[in-house]
Amino acid sequence: MLQVVEINYIRHEVNHKGRSYKEVAESVNHDQRTVKKYADLEEFPQKLKQKRKSPVLDAVKPILNSWLEEDLKMKKKFQRTAKRMYTQLVEEHGFKGSARTVRRYVSSRKEELKKEAESAVLPLEAHKGTAQVDFGKAPFKYAGEIIDLPFLVMSFPYSNTFYFQVFPSENTECLLEGLQRIFKRLGSVPKTIRFDNLSPAVKKIHAKGERELTDMFERFVLHYGFEYEFCNPGKGNEKGHVENMVKYSRNNYLLPALSLTDLNELNEQLWEKAEKDWERIHYEKKRKQSELHLESVAKHLVLPEKEFNCARIMTAKADKSGFVHIDSKLYSTSPRFAQKKVFVEVLYDEIRILNENYECIVKHPRLYGNQAKSMVWQPYLKLLAQRPKAIKYSGVYDHLPSEWQAYLKASTEDEQKAALSLLAELMTVATFGQLNEALMTASSNGHPSAEQIRQAFNAQKFNQQLYQDIQTSEEIPKLPEVTRGSSHYDDLFKMEEKS
């Protein structure tokens, strides 16, 4: 086939200069008939590249396509090379073609898949492998009151399915804990997830819609490898599917207000409720949502082997009593850390106080709502048991219940030492309410010892009487009256002889 430059030359020489076909053919070194053909040609239709059939490669293309789609769910270091795919085809499928043919096909197919991924508007439309996330709120009955708690929903637009979990707050730790739980339940990670501009994920929205992410969310995304998208400010309709699922899950599973005693138990039940809902027929596709869900999950990313540590690490300085302020709440450390810096690991449900070697000193349940202070007594009581005189000057004395303040105030130094050791021991298995009750019971007959308090605690723990009457089946002999001298010994021996 002639080049465009040659065709232009032929047409110019023949049609504009009037040269003969023969002359031009000699000058371009082509056949005279070829010159005539291009000089006289009226139309230049687009040349379509013919697709050559390749029976050997065509037979294994579906296999290569499935391998490529599998590998795209993995990190690059875990993806197979074209050479490895060729080897597998030879060993497992008896492939007779060349390695070069496989390399060429793998390269072109990868480019096609890349373009498909870039061109798709994934989360807004119902594409496979995508998800949307948002928080909702619902009322719960807890400790005799009605409280509002947030619940996190992840919905899957392609299949119209969803998961949801209830949390004590909408903070970063709760968001990431919820996402991680759902990934674990799925056994995979959605390829693309759309969010509203949640403050746990977005620190600031800059000009032209660029977002500055929170550090934890950014590291979470890197760990799991999904792509994220955010709605435009004030455009909640851009995540319309998850908003519908928030309303649906609240109306069908969280109303009227549920009685809440254990949040973990409730969340375990919610997995099953959501999955049972998948058995509905899709409103548009007229197929079971569970079937569609499997198709969508097939496009997900592989779940990493290691879980992400959904914890915020920070430093805090303890006050003179050894308390640190975390999110406007007080948590105790240890007396030796009073007015010193400590590391704090903040999880959605727990606060861990760490020393300079990142070793855990003490753990607290994380406080929410009106709770303002959490005290773990063991570190204080163990130290004070060694130095009981220091109790009134430590700041700990003021935090003790009034019953124990009064008892320690009336005790000797040795009694204080024994009582503080007992408290340090029993606080691992009991509350101050139970220990107060034991102290009051033991004090009914006067100022008790630490051992008497222990006995009272054990009796109350095992539902036993503190003091029991001694029962005997034998009659106790009556002893003679005590008199001066040794004659009463003779009387005692006479009694033994009679018996």
How buried is residue 109: exposed, middle or buried, by Cβ count under 10 Å (0-12/13-18/19+)?
middle
**Rounded CA separation 221/308 (Å):** 10
Record the pTM.
Answer: 0.64
User: Please, which pLDDT band fits residue 121 given cuts at 50, 70 and 90?
Assistant: very low
Let me know whether 115 and 218 are in one domain.
no
CA torsion sign for 293, 299, 305, 310 is negative
Of 376, 392, 414, the one marking the end of a domain is: 376
**Rounded CA separation 163/156 (Å):** 9
Let me know whether 114 and 61 are in one domain.
yes
**Rounded CA separation 233/197 (Å):** 7
Q: What is the mean pLDDT of residues 378-400?
A: 73
Tokens of 19: 């040269």
Tokens of 329: 């709440």
User: CB-based contacts of 306: which residues, under 8 Å, 6+ apart?
Assistant: none
**Rounded CA separation 450/461 (Å):** 16
Q: Beta strand 373-374 with 329-332: parallel, antiparallel or unpaired?
A: parallel
What is the pLDDT, as a whole number, of residue 465?
58
> What letters, b where the CB count within 10 A reaches 16 and e where it falls short, cover 68-77?
beebbbeeee
Task: With a cut of 80, say whether residue 391 has pLDDT above it.
Answer: no
Helices 413-426 and 378-386 pack at an angle, to 10 degrees, of: 160
Let me know whether 420 and 436 are in one domain.
yes
Let me know whether 91 and 240 are in one domain.
no
Is the pLDDT higher at 45 or at 243?
243
Let me know whether 280 and 321 are in one domain.
no
Beta-bridged to residue 341, according to DSSP, are 317
Task: With a cut of 90, say whether residue 166 has pLDDT above it.
Answer: yes
Q: What is the mean pLDDT of residues 397-408?
A: 83
What is the pLDDT, as a whole number, of residue 247?
94
Q: What is the mean pLDDT of residues 162-183?
A: 96
**Rounded CA separation 292/282 (Å):** 9
Q: Nearest to residue 157, comparing CAs of 199, 195, 126, 194?
A: 126
In a domain, 33, yes or no: yes
In a domain, 249, yes or no: yes
Task: With a cut of 70, say whether residue 122 has pLDDT above it.
Answer: no
Q: According to the 3-state scheme, what is the secondary structure of the chain?
A: CCCHHHHHHHHHHHHCCCCCHHHHHHHHCCCHHHHHHHHHCCCCCCCCCCCCCCHHHHCCHHHHHHHHHHHCCCCHHHCCCHHHHHHHHHHHHCCCCCHHHHHHHHHHHHHHHHHHHHHCCCCCCCCCCEEEEEEEEEEEEECCEEEEEEEEEEEECCCCEEEEEECCCCCHHHHHHHHHHHHHHHCEECCEEEECCCCCCEEEECHHHCEEECHHHHHHHHHHCCEEEECCCCCHHHHHHHHHHHHHHHHHHHCCCEECCCHHHHHHHHHHHHHHHCCCECCCCCCEHHHHHHHHHCCCEECCCCCCCCCEEEEEECCCCCEEEECCEEEECCHHHCCCEEEEEECCCEEEEECCCCCEEEEEECCCCCCCEECCCHHHHHHHHHCHHHHHHCCCHHHCCHHHHHHHHCCCHHHHHHHHHHHHHHCCCCCHHHHHHHHHHHHHHCCCCHHHHHHHHHHHHCCCCCCCCCCCCCCCCCCCCCCCCCHHHHHHHHHHHHC
User: Please, which pLDDT band fits residue 193 given cuts at 50, 70 and 90?
Assistant: very high
One-letter amino acid for residue 103 of the chain: R
What is the pLDDT, as a whole number, of residue 494?
62
Q: What is the mean pLDDT of residues 350-367?
A: 92
Q: What is the pLDDT of residues 69-118, one digit of tens each?
A: 888 777 777 788 888 888 888 899 888 888 888 888 888 888 887 776 65
- Residue written as token pair 């700041």: 395
What is the pLDDT, as a whole number, of residue 366?
95
Residue pair 238/124 in contact by the 8 Å Cβ criterion: yes
Instruction: Kindly report the number of other CB atoms within 10 A of residue 258's CB atom.
Output: 17
Let me know whether 368 and 237 are in one domain.
no
Let me know whether 391 and 370 are in one domain.
no
In a domain, 190, yes or no: yes
Tokens of 20: 């003969």
In a domain, 82, yes or no: yes
Let me know whether 19 and 102 are in one domain.
no
CA torsion sign for 70, 72, 77, 82 is positive
* 233 cis-preceded (ω within 30 degrees of 0): no
Q: What is the pLDDT of residues 72-83, one digit of tens each?
A: 777 777 788 888
Beta-bridged to residue 155, according to DSSP, are 132, 162
In a domain, 238, yes or no: yes
- Determine phi and psi for 353, rounding to 5 degrees: -95, 125
Q: According to the 3-state scheme, what is the secondary structure of 240-270?
A: HHHHHHHHHHHHHHHCCCEECCCHHHHHHHH
Q: What is the pLDDT of residues 409-446, one digit of tens each?
A: 888 888 888 888 888 888 878 888 888 999 999 998 88
Of 119, 144, 167, the one marking the end of a domain is: 119
In a domain, 479, yes or no: no
In a domain, 468, yes or no: no
Q: What is the pLDDT of residues 28-37, one digit of tens each?
A: 888 888 888 8
Task: With a cut of 60, say whether residue 171 has pLDDT above it.
Answer: yes
The count of domains in the chain is 5
Let me know whether 207 and 240 are in one domain.
yes
Average pLDDT, rounded, for the chain = 84
Write the CA distances from 180 to 30, 185, 194, 278, integer angstroms. Answer: 71, 9, 16, 21
Q: Beta strand 258-259 with 130-142: parallel, antiparallel or unpaired?
A: parallel
In a domain, 477, yes or no: no
Task: With a cut of 70, say whether residue 483 has pLDDT above it.
Answer: no
Let me know whether 106 and 148 are in one domain.
no
Segments forming the whole domain that contains residue 239: 130-302
Of 245, 277, 302, the one marking the end of a domain is: 302
Helices 402-409 and 413-426 pack at an angle, to 10 degrees, of: 150
Let me know whether 142 and 276 are in one domain.
yes
Q: Quote the percentage of the chain above a pLDDT of 70.
A: 84
Q: Nearest to residue 379, comparing CAs of 323, 458, 327?
A: 323
Let me know whether 155 and 243 are in one domain.
yes
What is the pLDDT, as a whole number, of residue 48?
46
CATH number at residue 264: 3.30.420.10
Task: With a cut of 60, say whether residue 405 has pLDDT above it.
Answer: yes
